[in-house]
């Protein structure tokens, strides 16, 4: 089983719709979880951290399910500018462990 797995997509979604991605991770002892966004030919940038209690930032909601070892990202009222690749990121078993990226999920918002 890969350390971090994501559906590569692409997800083609009409503007204004709601879209959700899941990501599974293999190491049950992982401590830190993030979603990064990567635009074409650009470096990844932090979108949001994922907390055990779940967290929301505007149109974006992230949740963590430790029992099933997955994290999710929900985007409401999607905008054309949301088109990007969304990377699921997990650290290892200890707080100081390496940080692993999933392969990313491509999202295309259609006008």
The site for other proteins (CB under 8 A) is made up of: 6, 8, 32, 34, 36, 42-46, 49, 87, 89, 91, 95-96, 98-104
**H/E/C letters for each residue in 46-91?**
EEEECCCCCEEECCEEEEEECCCCEEEEEECCCCHHHCEEEEEEEE
- 53-62 own/partner pairs: CB under 8 Å, 24+ apart: 60/35, 62/33, 62/35
**Which of 60/101 has CB closer to other proteins?**
101
Least distance CB 69 / other proteins (angstroms): 18
**Which of 39/77 has CB closer to other proteins?**
39
Least distance CB 107 / other proteins (angstroms): 14
2's tokens: 């890969």
Least distance CB 74 / other proteins (angstroms): 20
Q: How many residues does the chain have?
A: 111
**Which of 8/14 has CB closer to other proteins?**
8
């Amino acid at each position: 089983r890969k350390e971090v797995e994501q559906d590569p997509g692409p997800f083609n979604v009409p503007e204004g719709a709601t879209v959700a991605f899941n990501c599974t991770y293999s190491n049950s002892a992982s401590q830190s979880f993030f979603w990064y966004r990567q635009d074409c030919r650009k470096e990844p940038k932090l979108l949001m951290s994922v907390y055990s209690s779940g967290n929301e930032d505007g149109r974006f909601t992230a949740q963590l399910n430790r029992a099933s070892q997955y994290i999710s990202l929900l985007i409401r009222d999607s905008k054309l500018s949301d088109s990007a690749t969304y990377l699921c990121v997990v650290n290892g078993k200890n707080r100081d462990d390496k940080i692993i990226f999933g392969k990313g999920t491509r999202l295309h918002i259609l006008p």
